[in-house]
Amino acid sequence: MEFCQVKLEGHARGMTIYITGFLADVAATRVEAMVCGLREGTSVVRVDLRGVEIIDPTAFVRVARSLNRWRDLKRGRHVLIQFPERSSQAAQATRSSFSLPARNTLMLHAPSLDIFDPVPERVALHC
């Protein structure tokens, strides 16, 4: 039984990596291998985590670091990470005690910007 799936979709100048299931060591290792093998000319990488049920923080850091290395070494322009929505049960529990702003998308830009700067909802890959 496989606990995660990691798939790559290619575009003219951009790539999308889809992760579903558990974002743990196995998924992080697969993403790292995919990022190392991205073709020349790729300028935008999008990581879609909407199908992820559980995120291991250490595995997420591995994925984020591999994307940062790719961006720095290959002069990539953008790295987009789209997070899963909160479950309705967890959201209801949160609403009853306190509310936090929802962060389901972020963009890694130049080093002057923070890793958690939000991306507008209408961001699309320009190929």
**How high is the pLDDT of residue 95?**
45
CA 115 to CA 94: how far, in whole Å? 24
Question: Rounded mean pLDDT of the chain?
Answer: 76
**How high is the pLDDT of residue 29?**
94
What Rg do the C-alpha atoms of the chain give, in angstroms? Answer: 15
Classify 113 as helix, strand or coil.
coil
| Residues 28-47 pLDDT 10s | 999 999 999 888 888 899 99
The answer to whether 32 and 66 are in contact (CB under 8 A) is yes
Considering only CA atoms, which of 80, 81, 100, 82 is closest in space to residue 90? 100
The answer to whether 80 and 107 are in contact (CB under 8 A) is yes
| Residues 80-107 pLDDT 10s | 889 888 655 554 554 444 444 444 555 5
- Domains of the chain are 4-108 (3.30.750.24)
pTM score, whole prediction: 0.65
